[in-house]
């Protein structure tokens, strides 16, 4: 089962390395990892996605809580939360590749997925899509026939719903 783990840490050098080292030393796989400063920048939030059964996840949580710069560890998987990913995808359009055609069709797909065009040239569009992994996968599958020249995707970020900190 996939687990989304939120780790609030002190924003200091080497923290990410310690967290990543914990996973690699124990042979745990990280499917995605995002990190950014929170608020005034004194703390950072690490959001990581990993897979494992109950005992493995319990071990991961215990080991994370033992790290000195860690302030709080939360497994968001079993509680209400909001999670999102970001996809930037460059799609070739008819001006640069008439055999692919479909600039208007690509724009229709963008509208269907509530995405947005963040850059346009005569031969390509860069599209920003945010949402669940399933939404990003579905959008990408529809865009691929038009010629995906390049893409980049973030890992998941997530926060607990409600007043819970």
Residues 70, 12 share a domain: yes
Residues 104, 65 share a domain: no
User: Quick check: is 99 in a domain?
Assistant: yes
Run of H or E residues at 22: helix 15-25
| Per-residue pLDDT, 118 | 98
| Per-residue pLDDT, 44 | 95
Task: Give the Cβ contact number of residue 37 at 10 Å.
Answer: 11
Model confidence, pTM: 0.81
d(CA 38, CA 59) in angstroms, rounded, equals 26
CATH number assigned to the domain comprising residue 68 = 3.30.70.260
d(CA 147, CA 141) in angstroms, rounded, equals 11
Domain count, the chain: 2
Per-residue pLDDT in tens (0 to 9) along the chain, 165 residues: 889 999 999 999 999 999 988 888 888 889 999 999 998 889 999 999 998 888 888 988 999 999 888 999 999 988 899 999 999 999 988 765 555 568 889 999 999 999 999 999 988 999 999 999 999 999 999 999 988 999 999 989 999 998 866
Residues 63, 99 share a domain: no
User: Quick check: is 56 in a domain?
Assistant: yes
Residues 130, 97 share a domain: yes
DSSP-assigned beta bridge partners for residue 9: 44, 70
Residues 61, 89 share a domain: no
Last-in-domain residue among 23, 48, 78: 78
Residues 114, 93 share a domain: yes
| Per-residue pLDDT, 41 | 85
| Per-residue pLDDT, 93 | 84
Residues 12, 64 share a domain: yes
Measured between its terminal Cα atoms, the distance across the chain in Å is 24
| Per-residue pLDDT, 78 | 83
Quote the domain boundaries for residue 126: 82-158
| Per-residue pLDDT, 97 | 55
């Amino acid at each position: 089962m996939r687990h989304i783990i939120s780790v609030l840490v002190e924003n200091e050098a080497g923290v990410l390395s310690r967290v990543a080292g914990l996973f690699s030393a124990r042979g745990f796989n990280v499917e995605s990892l995002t990190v950014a400063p929170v608020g005034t920048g004194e703390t950072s939030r690490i959001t990581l996605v990993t897979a494992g059964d109950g005992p493995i996840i319990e071990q991961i949580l215990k080991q994370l809580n033992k790290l000195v710069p860690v302030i709080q560890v939360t497994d968001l998987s079993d509680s209400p939360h909001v999670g999102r990913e970001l996809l930037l995808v460059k799609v070739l359009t008819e001006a640069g590749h008439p055999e692919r055609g479909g600039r208007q069709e690509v724009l229709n797909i963008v509208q269907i997925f509530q995405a947005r065009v963040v850059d346009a040239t005569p031969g390509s569009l860069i599209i920003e899509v945010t949402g669940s992994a399933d939404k990003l996968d579905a959008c990408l599958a529809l865009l691929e026939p038009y010629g995906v020249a390049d893409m980049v995707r973030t890992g998941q970020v997530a926060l607990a719903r409600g007043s819970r900190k």
